[in-house]
Amino acid sequence: MYYKQYGNTDMKVSAIGMGCMRYDSDDVKSGNLEKCAEVALYAHEKGINYFDTAPFYCDDKSEIITGIALSQLPRDSYYISSKTNLGTVGGSYTEADFRRRLETTLSRLKVDYLDFYHLWCVLNLESFSEQVEILYSFFEKAKAEGLIRNIVFSSHMQGDELETAVASDLFKGMLIGYNALNYRFRQTGIKAAYDNGMGVVVMNPLGGGLIPGNPDTFRYLTEGTDLTVAQAALNFVASHKEITITLAGCTTKEHVDDAVKAVENLVERPAAEIYEEYENKGMIINDLCTGCAYCKHCPKDIDIPKFMDAYNMKLLGNDMYDRLKGHWQISKDSAGDCIKCGKCEKLCTQHLPIIKRLAEIAG
């Protein structure tokens, strides 16, 4: 395993981290949590020492499963991160609410402290400012008590907004979505964080499965390597000097092996150099839905993630109606039920024009 320095700390972390939001859904639903934990244990055996989890992942079982696994290991052999925000602490946003959420996470993970605790899912600067104002002092108190080692944030903002968040000097690191599709739009943010001595952790390096799901389109990533498209996409991200950890969501031990292979003999390069090399290769689209499903709260019960997945097919040069009918088995007509309330667009981590797309699909 290849290891990197986490920002200006003394922590050596694996270039690949395990994203703990993709434990096998059938095992989770059947309560076979120990079997899921075997994947995390295998990842540790292969040299991965950074594990990222959160409340609500895997039917709210991810922290429990990860705790089952990591509690069998020496505490100084891994780093664990979890997350919280206004949506998880309760309606009154008090210190007691924050503490209750944190203590639940610690109990589930069977640890006395978190190495990293994220201010979670910051969508824009307005959200960043609001949540910092309400919650940051609670983070500080928990850190002073030794319950948190590092205060970090998780964001879906673009580069210029990330620069502003970094400039606040409140955080030791950040977690962002970054991949071969959207790297153009977050370059300045990761450079600002790196220059500020922060660790940079990347989620969604496979573009929500879009990259390995379209191997012919993204074959250019594998040029000069013996890697698969998925492995090459992980290597693309991990090779950035400014990026500390690339999270791989692993359901099976084979997924772990793929992720580990992606960083064998890793060569780090500055983001600007990588940007220049890939500027005229492949496609650079920030408009593809990554399938996070945060938008799935439509008052008209429109299954928005499925419609946005179909719209991806159009952006990739395929027939979106074949995707709707053949894959999802839903009619385009229900897209016309949209009342343009805007709730989905407020929840969208990528700020996609969902209302306009639904109207286009229905038409």
Q: Exposure pattern of 205-220 as b/e (b: 16+ CB <10 Å)? A: bbbbebbbebeebbee
- Beta-strand relationship, 148-155 and 173-177: parallel
Average of per-residue pLDDT across 24-36 = 96
- How far is 320 from 281, CA to CA, in rounded Å? 25
For residues 122-144, b (16+ Cβ closer than 10 Å) or e, as one string?
Answer: bbeeebbeebbeebbebbeebbe
Q: Which pLDDT score, from 0 to 100, does residue 309 have? A: 85
pLDDT (tens digit, 9 = 90+) per residue, 132-151? 999 999 999 999 999 999 99
Say how many C-beta atoms besides its own lie within 10 A of residue 351's C-beta: 15
Per residue in 297-328, pLDDT (tens digit) is 899 999 998 899 889 888 887 888 888 887 78
Q: What is the pTM of this model?
A: 0.82
Q: Report, as an integer, the average pLDDT of 41-57.
A: 97
pLDDT tens readout for residues 63-88: 999 999 999 999 999 999 999 998 88
E-assigned strand segments in the chain: 3-5, 12-14, 16-19, 50-52, 79-84, 114-122, 148-155, 173-177, 199-203, 245-249
What is the spatial distance between Cα 41 and Cα 68, in angstroms, rounded to a whole number?
Answer: 9
Greatest CA separation for the chain: 58
Q: 173-176: long-range contacts (C-beta < 8 A, 24 or more apart)?
A: 173/6, 173/7, 173/116, 173/198, 173/199, 173/200, 173/201, 173/244, 174/198, 174/199, 174/200, 174/201, 175/52, 175/81, 175/118, 175/201, 175/202, 175/203, 175/247, 176/200, 176/201, 176/202, 176/203
**CATH of range 3-278; options 3.30.470.20, 3.30.70.260, 3.10.20.600, 3.20.20.100:** 3.20.20.100
Contacts 24+ apart (CB under 8 A), 98-102: 98/135, 98/138, 98/142, 99/138, 99/142, 101/55, 102/142, 102/147, 102/148
**31 in Cβ contact with 73 (< 8 Å):** no
For CATH 3.20.20.100, the residue range(s) in the chain are 3-278
Q: What is each CA distance from 250 to 62, 79, 175, 273, 339, in whole angstroms?
A: 12, 17, 18, 30, 38
Question: Under a CB-based contact definition with an 8 Å cutoff, are residues 257 and 25 in contact?
Answer: no
| Residue 350, both tokens | 């990528």
Q: What is the mean pLDDT of the chain?
A: 91
- Is the predicted pLDDT of residue 284 greater than 60, yes or no? no
In this structure, of 40-54, 196-210, 245-259, the range with the lowest mean pLDDT score is: 196-210
More confident residue, 125 or 81: 81
Sign, CA dihedral 258-155-244-11, equals negative
Residue 323 has what DSSP assignment?
I
**For 29-38, what is the mean pLDDT?**
96
